[in-house]
Amino acid sequence: MNNIFFALSSVIFGLSLLSVGGPILGEMIATMAPIYTKKDSATLPNLGIPVEQVTFQSSDDLNLSGWFFPADDPASPAILYAPATARDQRSGLSLVVPFHQAGYHVLLFSYRGHGTSDGDRFGFTYGAAESRDVDAAVQYLSEERGIKKIGAIGHSAGAVSIILSASRNSQISAIVAASPFNSVEEIWETNRPVLFPKPLYDLTMWFSEFRKGFSRHQVRAQDVIGKIAPRPLLLLHGSADNRITQEQALQLYSQAKEPKRLWIIEGATHDSVRHPGLDVLSGQILSFFDKALRSQANIYPD
């Protein structure tokens, strides 16, 4: 009898441990940095244009790495790209050539823990720390490169990081945010499996915050997006995005102030907003940046 009781207790304990540990492990895997080999770190992208390997420091003294593609004219504006969750600087490569051909400096960089940047590759914070890395990238472009006009484009958590950074950083002059989420709570709830108990899901989120050293209250784009004005803002969202609902995109847009625009890309999923979405729309996006960073005219005339 004791053996049966012990066996049942062990099974129950094991299932309990799995029910708690499984989601935690899943979250770590879903947000970990992609593999970046020594060969990757030693190889510069061959796009047929000049490129430099660069390093700059975050506000908490981490070395962040990236690629800088200089424009022919040193006085040109710059555009930086902020990657999505589980992506590094390589994810912005398809945008470099059209932006460079349009006369812009381009900076691709990796967040802390990604690429060859310092930090924990399992420490992604949904934009809390990553937005400070965007701050550091903007500071590098401004202080080290002497660039006066800086535009930023990002996808998903990268879009959120740009919104958070721009809300406190006036050096970002124009923002293109593709598929940003309103808050950590909403993106977690939208992606919670139907049969997964909410209390257990909340426990997983709390553990993620505790382990990574951030608070969900630091990642609420909807609370700060209004601070971007009067700088121009372009939001993009896919009509078939199941990770971030169109209702959330409309709520985020409603909290923003003019000048602002929202483009709904018909049939685009969360991932395809980035590729091929941003690549296909690069001409229109460049027109937005041209008006925002090169022209004195009202970017969104009535």
Give the model's confidence band at 36: pLDDT under 50 very low, under 70 low, under 90 confident, else very high.
confident
Looking at domain 50-183+216-293, its CATH superfamily turns out to be Alpha/Beta hydrolase fold, catalytic domain (3.40.50.1820)
* Tokens 């040193």, located at residue: 74
Give the model's confidence band at 26: pLDDT under 50 very low, under 70 low, under 90 confident, else very high.
confident
Give the model's confidence band at 10: pLDDT under 50 very low, under 70 low, under 90 confident, else very high.
very low
Residue 57, token pair as written in the block: 């420091």
pLDDT at site 5: 42
pLDDT at site 74: 94
Is pLDDT of 299 > 80?
no
pLDDT at site 142: 97
Separation of CA 119 from chain center: 17
Least confident of 23-27, 69-73, 75-79, 268-272: 23-27
CA 10 to CA 7: how far, in whole Å? 5
Residue 297, C-beta contacts closer than 8 angstroms, at least 6 positions apart: 291
pLDDT at site 29: 81
Tally of residues, the chain = 302
Q: Give the HSE-up count for residue 100: Cα atoms under 13 Å, Cβ half-sphere.
A: 19
180 within 8 A of 159, measured Cβ to Cβ:
yes
pLDDT tens by residue, 104-126: 999 999 999 999 999 999 999 99
DSSP state of 99: H
pLDDT tens by residue, 122-173: 999 999 999 999 999 999 999 999 999 999 999 999 999 999 999 999 999 9
Is pLDDT of 13 > 80?
no
H-run or E-run covering 98: helix 96-101
Instruction: Report in angstroms the alpha-carbon separations of 226 from 1, 45, 176, 230, 296.
Output: 65, 37, 15, 9, 22
pLDDT tens by residue, 90-104: 999 999 999 999 999
Q: If you average pLDDT over residues 286-292, what whole number do you get?
A: 96
* Tokens 């609420």, located at residue: 220
Break the chain into its structural domains and give their ranges.
50-183+216-293
H-run or E-run covering 149: none
Counting residues of the chain whose pLDDT is more than 90, the rounded percentage is: 72
Q: If you average pLDDT over residues 240-265, what whole number do you get?
A: 94
pLDDT at site 23: 67
Q: If you average pLDDT over residues 185-193, what whole number do you get?
A: 78
Least confident of 5-9, 136-140, 191-195, 265-269: 5-9
Is pLDDT of 77 > 60?
yes
Residue 47, C-beta contacts closer than 8 angstroms, at least 6 positions apart: 69, 93, 96, 97, 100
